[in-house]
Amino acid sequence: MTAISDGAGTQDPGFGQGLRAALPIVLGYLPIAFSFGVAATQSGLTPAEAVMLSLVIYAGASQFLALALVTSGAPLLVAAFTLIAMNLRHVLYGPALMKQAGASASRRHAWAWAWGLTDEVFGQALGALARGRRFSEPYMFGLGLAAYASWVIGTGLGAVAGGGALDGWPAVQAGLGFMLAALFLALLLSILSRALLPVVAAAILACVLGTIFWSGTAGILLGMVAGALTGVLRR
């Protein structure tokens, strides 16, 4: 197995393999977290407050929205409810992952590693299982910890460096900005099969329509639910 191979293995994958599998997530998270750190300090937060938000909330879109809500003076409970509602989709990630992992998969330490089940970590873990890799909690810890650390470190760097750090490198900025889209496409390719085409098509269509006619958050929720319901209907 090569250093960054992400293929199937016969033994339970370990912590180090989880860390290595997180590489594309780390490269995608760093610039986004950096942007959040910059935006947070430009909104009047201190670097410590910016890092605290990334440590405690750890959800990208919610954090950017939190800046807008805080600076607009939204009441605390309204802001909290809005931000919480944005992440409702995460409820499905754990059960979907454990279904793919099988009945014998350990979830003894799920209270800790499941904190790291962001969209990208979930997608990477599910893709690995679909490619034949066995489920293991050390792998989940490695995958989740690398992603979490990159998110927090990226925020700190952005908050301290301020805007303009990558302004002289627009192509690098652009390439890094495409990293997460490329990751999701690669994950989609890794799990795609003829039987799943209706699920994928329904999810994409509902996401596009939901985004156009409602909002980005609604589009994501509608896409997931429409795709999952299509999976229920097919035999």
Partner 1 sequence: MSGDLVLLALMVGAANWAFRALPTILLRREPQPGGILSRFLAATGPAAIATLFAASILPQLYPAPKELVPLAAGVAATVLGFLPRRSVVAATLCGALAYGLAFAALG
Q: Which of 12, 131, 134, 163 binds partner 1 (CB under 8 A)?
A: 131
Q: Would you state the torsion angle of the CA atoms of residues 233, 206, 100, 3, taken in this order, to the nearest 10 degrees?
A: 150
- Binding part of the chain for partner 1, among 10-18, 146-154, 158-166, 188-196 by CB under 8 A, reads 188-196
Helices (H) then strands (E): counts for the chain? 13, 0
Question: Cα separation of 21 and 119, whole Å?
Answer: 15
Q: Which is nearer to partner 1, 136 or 230 (CB)?
A: 230
Residue 32 token pair: 């986004």
Work out whether 166 is an interface residue with partner 1 (CB under 8 A).
no
Number of chain positions touching partner 1 (CB under 8 A): 105
Residue 174 token pair: 């652009």
SS3 content of the chain, % helix, strand, coil (to 5): 75, 0, 25
Q: How far is the CB of 191 from partner 1 (least distance, A)?
A: 6
Q: Which is nearer to partner 1, 16 or 92 (CB)?
A: 92
Q: How far is the CB of 165 from partner 1 (least distance, A)?
A: 17
Q: Which of 33, 38, 45, 153 binds partner 1 (CB under 8 A)?
A: 45
